[in-house]
Structure 1
Amino acid sequence: MDIAVGSGNPVKRRAVERAYPEARVAAVAVDSGVSEQPVGHDETLTGAVTRAERVFGTGEYDFGVGIEGGVASFSNDAAVVGGEGDLYLVMWAAATDGTRVGHGAGPSFLLPDRIADRIHDGEELGPVMDDVLGTEDIAKNEGAAGVFTGGQVTRTDALQSAVTAALAPFHCDLY
């Protein structure tokens, strides 16, 4: 099986490789079509679907996979923009075979207030995390998920579950 993941981020490639170790995985950077910091479930999922569809068309692949991380509220996505409500790190994956599209979500993590406040003010999660932690490129390493869980769930782990869920409709006759 040949799978292309629509990102040059090594964490996203590893997530797909771990979800499907028998597959050959190519990483091809494509534009998500959404903002650098997707806000809300809809925008985050749209980014994942756009990446999956765009990367599928770049070569001869059985599947194109798109992965997108964002921030969202579970009570009301519109509240995120206004700075109200709890804010979570969310992740979505999409997979396509050129005909159908499957979707899957990874775990969600409540953002600490001092980080959420900066996101509400318009900053992006990755750079905020790097600033707070004194790191560089946290998104290409353990990610916020790894930090929040003390390494119990890394960004790769979280994204792997989203990818597995997105590809489930292609591997199960119940869909």
Structure 2
Amino acid sequence: MRVGVGSRNPVKIAAVEAVFDARETQVDPVVVESVGAESGVAEQPFGERETLAGAENRARRAAAGRDLGVGLEGGVSEVADADGLYLTMWAAVTDGESLGRGSGPRLQLPEPVALRIRDGEELGPVMDDVLGESDVAKKQGAAGALTDGIIDRQEALEHAVAGALALFVTDVYDRE
């Protein structure tokens, strides 16, 4: 099985590989391929709808010529009935016909970070600045920094991918 991941980010690719490695059998080996796929949304998606749309767009583009395409998108969202701005992660998986969706955890952003995001900055560079590091998004991510490593970006993305893959691995869902 060939699986395209609509990203060049090593953390996103590793998350998809980990999910498929957990399911792989000798009979059905999986080859995960990185595909540079545009999200079609803002560099810093704002809101669940825009973040999910980015994941779906990446999945569709990554599916071309493959058995499955996987798209992952991180964004920030206001959450109804909860104060603050939250880090959100969405994954989409498609076989070209059906589309599965799953999300990772939501983590409340510290107010100084949220203020900068609301002023138009992107989360990755803001986290780099706040932590005094570089390429946080390609390492532990905001999820790792905000939880002191209890979960990291890869693990959070794995949960989103597993949720999106559910449509394709069980008979519980009605795929039409």
Note the 1:80-119 alignment, pairs <5 A: 85-119=83-117
* Selected match of 2:49 from 38, 42, 46: 42
Match of 2:171 in 1: 173
Note the 1:1-175 alignment, pairs <5 A: 1-21=1-21, 22=24, 23-57=30-64, 59=65, 61-75=66-80, 85-175=83-173
Please give the per-residue CA displacement for 1:80-129, whole angstroms capped at 9, x wherever unaligned. Answer: xxxxx510000000000011000000001000011001011111000000
- Between the aligned partners of 2:62 and 2:113, the Cα distance in structure 1 is 32
Aligned residues: 166
| CA RMSD across the alignment | 1.3
Please give the per-residue CA displacement for 1:51-91, whole angstroms capped at 9, x wherever unaligned. Answer: 0001111x3x2100000000001118xxxxxxxx5100000
Paired AA for residue 6 in structure 1 = G
* Bigger mean CA offset, 67-76 vs 121-130: 67-76
Tell me, which stretches of 5 or more residues in structure 1 are unaligned? 77-84
Paired AA for residue 66 in structure 1 = G
Matched position secondary structure for 2:79: coil
CA drift at 1:152: 1.0
Match of 2:27 in 1: none
Normalising by structure 1, report the TM-score: 0.92
The sequence identity of aligned pairs, in percent, is 55
Paired AA for residue 103 in structure 1 = R
- Between the aligned partners of 2:104 and 2:6, the Cα distance in structure 1 is 17
Paired AA for residue 12 in structure 2 = K
Normalising by structure 2, report the TM-score: 0.92
Give the 4+ runs in structure 1 shifted more than 4 A: none
- Between the aligned partners of 1:122 and 1:33, the Cα distance in structure 2 is 18
Tell me, which stretches of 5 or more residues in structure 2 are unaligned? 25-29
